[in-house]
Structure 1
Amino acid sequence: MDHKLNEISIRTDIRPGDLGYVMYRHGKLYGEENNYGVAFETYVGSGLYEFYKNYNPELDRVWICEQGDKIVGFLLLMHRENNRAQLRYFYFEPECRGLGLGNKLMQLFIDFAKACEYNAVYLWTTDELPTAHHLYKKFGFKLTEERPSNHFGKSLVEQRYDLIL
């Protein structure tokens, strides 16, 4: 396992093609694994556009995991109002799950948020991702809100998790 993790590098610069690829992989993976529709992919695209339009390298960050020249994971921190930040678009390719990469990215995310002196961070997810919930709770996030949704082409429950820093 450690050998596989050592083959994955993490960069924080955004290069041409990165955001489009992340949108594409979210659409494909969540479509195949959770039966999310095209509406989810366009939601991701809209959020990535918002992120880059307001991108400030002092306040925002991407963590792009690569194995060779292939993106195998992604996470971003997006600045928000009231000295808060949002965690968005966290995903790993199936073959890169269970290696400890999620823990590594969560620690990098929290360290960057603290270095930026954010008061709190939050994220939105769905009730269908128990492995992700476990990771968020492990790092101190608390479930603070739930709401029924049909935004991703199916009925589910959207969930908000918050962490006070």
Structure 2
Amino acid sequence: MTTAPLPEITAYTAADHDWLVEAHGRLYAAENGFDASFPAVVDAALREFEAAHDPSCERGWILRDGARRLGSIFCVREEISTARLRLFLLEPEMRGRGQGRRLLETCMGFARGHGYRRMVLATHESHRAACALYARTGFACTRSTPVRSYGQDLVEQVWERPL
């Protein structure tokens, strides 16, 4: 019995921009009721990354199966020794199949290899599967704050871990 090859993790390019904005907007609206302000935030974050990221210590990745994009994750500099994880996304059919962990390990490995000693991220309490993955991979939730964002009452969380 042969197994299907794993989706490939490739470098983010500007050609992935529109898909990433659309996917975030579509999935977060369907799963969390987020309004149109959310994809606008993703668009702004990507424009900033494309215009000003430092390729020596910041990178984005896309999970793909051939031409089909299935997920993303980004590592950006927060401070000289702290990396920030951003724009972590998986299409629903990839969830529960180890692909999120692969993306997360790719991101953390890059951060470690580029001298970062700590990684931080912000998410929402409602993203239970992602929070469970963060906890399983050594992250700790260091702050929870009720907020009103993207048309929803949410609990914003900050997670971090040493690298």
Question: TM-score band (shorter)?
Answer: over 0.9
Structure 1 match to 2:68: 70
Alignment of 1:49-68 (within 5 A): 49-68=47-66
Partner deviation per Cα, 1:24-49 (whole Å, 9 max, x = no partner): 10000000111111111111112222
Deviates more, 1:6-15 or 1:136-145: 6-15
> How big is the shift at 1:7?
4.3
Q: Classify 1:11/1:48 alpha carbon distance in 2 versus 1 (closer, same or farther; 3 Å).
A: same
TM-score (norm. length: structure 1): 0.92
Instruction: Work out the CA distance in 2 between the residues paired with 1:11 and 1:123.
Output: 21
Q: Alpha carbons of 1:98 and 1:3: their partners in 2 closer, same or farther (altered >3 Å)?
A: farther
- Matched with 1:162 is 160
Task: Tell whether 2:28 aligns with 1:30.
Answer: yes
User: Which structure 1 segments of 5+ residues have no match?
Assistant: none
Unaligned 5+ segments in structure 2 are none
C-alpha displacement of 1:122: 0.5
Indicate if the aligned counterparts of 2:143 and 2:157 stay in contact, CA closer than 8 A.
yes
Q: Calculate the aligned-residue CA RMSD, in Å.
A: 1.5
Q: 1:15 to 1:116 in 2, by over 3 A?
A: same
Aligned partners of 1:119 and 1:44: how far apart in 2? 26
Q: Aligned pair count?
A: 162
Question: Where does residue 7 of structure 2 map in the other structure?
Answer: 8
One-letter amino acid of the counterpart of residue 12, structure 1:
A
Identity of aligned residues (%): 31
1:7-156 matches, within 5 Å, as 7-16=6-15, 18-156=16-154
